[in-house]
């Protein structure tokens, strides 16, 4: 066989492979763009009998408990709190959902940076809406919160208001000598421009605080920069959300793949034994589960001070309810109670849809690389200023 013939055969094989790959890619893209209805989120207010039968009944484990096992995700985009413009509106119409999807599709990937290219602001906003984010169809509900009826987190308790004000005052003090305050940028709203504040030498009044204008140590940076935004309860976000549930007769294990690659494992004892004493605190609290009919009820207390959900404290009491609706759906509800933070408890509901596996590693590399570089850069800048006599 001549070298020319071998070349032609190789060329044809390469073209065939490219053609097959193009077809596969086109199919994948079509599947990604196609809406996938789930129970509670279909185009109709409620699923028909035929739709429920198609999904199949919920199954039982070999020891007779409702089977929650599988990989689950939230298929629709629903905000935690109801936006003010939808006050007193619990559900969208189909026309409203279609219009919201149309508007959102038009801005995904759009360059919304308002600063000149190459500036510090430009570089710090390196990710646009099309990078590392999930974009789902609008859900029927206008909020995940179902109680209070207005779909909003209840007003803060006085103690929580004081905490929030103290943290904001601290942040503004550390910003006052920066261009943000000099140029009256939004991040300095309520602050003033002036000499460096002595508070730069003090720790934040509460933990955790958002990123501040200081990099003395990891705690000065925001939780997202430290790959620590994994939370409980976890109900997903724009960076994606999957959870895998595995059961045994006395234990339920849940692996959360959430945030920007911040997976974590949770083991829930299903027992009538009491909680650990309040002196034993854990980052994700101390959980105890029990069955109420077909619903797994999980109560979690004894959080650590570093735990925060919308400003809650270590005294939070979290009650979660996992109900297998049918073969493809779990209704996940959670109630947050914390008298130190809210004037009353609040409840949210998230419909979860079963998806095929497996789950792959979803690693958050900002914490591995960006954070050490931020701290190293701060030390280099300090050295430069010292040598310049400032």
Domains of the chain, residue spans: 1-31, 158-226+366-387
- Please say if the pLDDT value at position 344 is more than 70: yes
Q: Given pLDDT bands bounded at 50, 70 and 90, which one contains residue 225? A: confident
- The pLDDT of residue 43 is above 70: no
Gap between the Cα atoms of 390 and 378, Å rounded: 15
Q: Which residues of 26-172 form beta strands (DSSP E)?
A: 70-73, 76-77, 137-138, 145-147
Q: Hey, is 117 helix, strand or coil?
A: coil
Taking the alpha carbons at both ends of the chain, their separation in whole angstroms is 77
What is the helix (H) or strand (E) element at residue 287, kind and residue range? strand 286-292
350 or 128: which carries more pLDDT confidence? Answer: 350
> What's the whole-number average pLDDT of the chain?
81
Encoding tokens for residue 35? 């809406």
What is the Cα–Cα distance from 183 to 225, expressed in whole angstroms? 26
pLDDT computed for residue 197 by the predictor = 94
Residue 342 phi, psi dihedral angles, 5° rounding: -125, 150
- pLDDT of 170 > 50? The answer is yes
For 38, 51, 91, 308, 332, the CA distances from 46, given in Å and listed in that order, are: 10, 10, 12, 35, 17
% of the chain beyond a pLDDT of 70: 77
**Residue 127 vs residue 266, higher pLDDT:** 266
What pLDDT digit, counting tens, does each position of 84-133 carry?
Answer: 999 999 999 999 999 999 988 877 766 655 556 666 666 665 556 566 56
* pLDDT at residue number 29: 35
Whether the ω angle into residue 364 lies within 30 degrees of 0, i.e. cis, is no
The rounded distance, in Å, linking the Cα atoms of 236 and 135 is 12
Confidence (pLDDT) at 213: 86
Residue 299 or 201, more confident: 299
Name the DSSP class of 102.
H
Kindly state the percentage of the chain with pLDDT values over 90. Answer: 51
Q: Is the pLDDT of residue 368 over 80?
A: no
Q: What does the block give as tokens for 71?
A: 């990989």
Window from 36-45, 125-134, 191-200 with minimum mean pLDDT = 36-45
Cβ atoms of residues 274 and 290 within 8 Å: no
H helix or E strand, kind and range, residue 231: none
Please state which of the ranges 101-110, 189-198, 266-275 shows the lowest mean pLDDT. 101-110
Whether 49 shows a pLDDT value over 80: the answer reads no
Residue of higher predicted confidence among 162 and 305 = 162
d(CA 329, CA 184): 49
Residue 160 has a pLDDT of 92
pLDDT given at position 292: 96
Using a 10 angstrom Cβ sphere, with 0-12 exposed, 13-18 middle and 19 or more buried, the burial of residue 176 is: buried
* DSSP secondary structure letter of residue 65: S
Would the pLDDT of 182 be above 60?
Answer: yes
The residue to which tokens 């920069």 are assigned: 225
Q: Is residue 236 predicted with pLDDT exceeding 70?
A: yes
As a whole number, mean pLDDT of residues 192-217 equals 87
Task: Output the pTM of the full model.
Answer: 0.78
Q: Is the pLDDT of residue 219 over 50?
A: yes
Predicted confidence (pLDDT) at residue 294 exceeds the cutoff of 70: yes
Whether the per-residue pLDDT at 15 is higher than 60: the answer is no
Q: What is the mean pLDDT of residues 217-239?
A: 81
Dihedral over Cα of 256, 262, 265, 270: its sign: negative
With 80 as the cut, is the pLDDT of residue 247 above it?
Answer: yes
- 3-class SS at 20? helix
Per-residue pLDDT at 34: 37
The larger pLDDT score, comparing residue 152 to residue 27, is at: 152
- State how far the Cα of 41 lies from the Cα of 138, in Å rounded to an integer: 9
């Amino acid at each position: 066989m001549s070298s020319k013939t071998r070349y032609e055969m190789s060329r044809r094989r390469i073209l065939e492979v490219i053609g097959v790959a193009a077809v596969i890619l086109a199919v994948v893209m079509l599947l990604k763009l196609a809406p996938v209805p789930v129970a509670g989120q279909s185009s109709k207010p409620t699923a028909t009998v035929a739709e429920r039968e198609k999904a199949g009944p919920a199954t039982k484990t070999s020891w007779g408990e409702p089977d929650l096992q599988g990989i689950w995700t939230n298929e629709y985009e629903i905000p935690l709190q109801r936006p003010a413009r939808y006050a007193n509106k619990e559900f969208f119409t189909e026309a409203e959902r279609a219009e919201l999807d149309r508007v959102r599709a038009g801005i995904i990937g759009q360059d919304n940076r308002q600063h000149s290219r190459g500036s510090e602001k430009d570089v710090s906003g390196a990710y646009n809406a099309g990078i590392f984010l999930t974009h789902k169809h609008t859900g029927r509900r206008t909020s995940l919160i179902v109680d209070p009826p207005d779909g909003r987190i209840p007003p803060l308790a006085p103690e929580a208001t004081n905490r929030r004000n103290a943290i904001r005052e601290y942040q503004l003090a550390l910003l006052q000598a920066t261009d943000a305050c000099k140029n009256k940028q939004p991040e300095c709203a309520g602050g003033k421009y002036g000499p460096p504040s002595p508070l730069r030498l003090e720790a934040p009044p509460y933990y955790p605080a958002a990123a501040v204008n200081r990099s003395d140590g990891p705690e000065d940076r925001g939780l997202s920069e430290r790959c620590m935004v994994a939370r409980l309860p976890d109900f997903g976000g724009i960076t994606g959300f999957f959870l895998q549930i595995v059961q045994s007769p006395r234990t339920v294990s849940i692996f959360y793949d959430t945030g920007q690659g911040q997976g974590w494992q949770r083991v829930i004892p299903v027992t009538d034994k009491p909680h650990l004493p309040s002196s034993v605190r854990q980052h994700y609290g101390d959980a105890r589960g029990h069955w109420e009919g077909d619903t797994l009820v999980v109560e979690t207390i004894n959080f650590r001070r570093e735990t925060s959900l919308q400003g809650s404290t270590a005294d939070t009491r979290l009650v979660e309810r996992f109900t297998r609706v049918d073969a493809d759906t779990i209704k996940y509800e959670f109630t947050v109670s914390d008298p130190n933070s809210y004037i009353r408890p609040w409840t949210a509901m998230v419909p979860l849809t079963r998806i095929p596996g497996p789950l792959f590693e979803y690693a958050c590399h900002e914490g591995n690389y960006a954070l050490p570089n931020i701290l190293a850069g701060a030390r280099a800048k300090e050295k430069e200023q010292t040598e310049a006599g400032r």
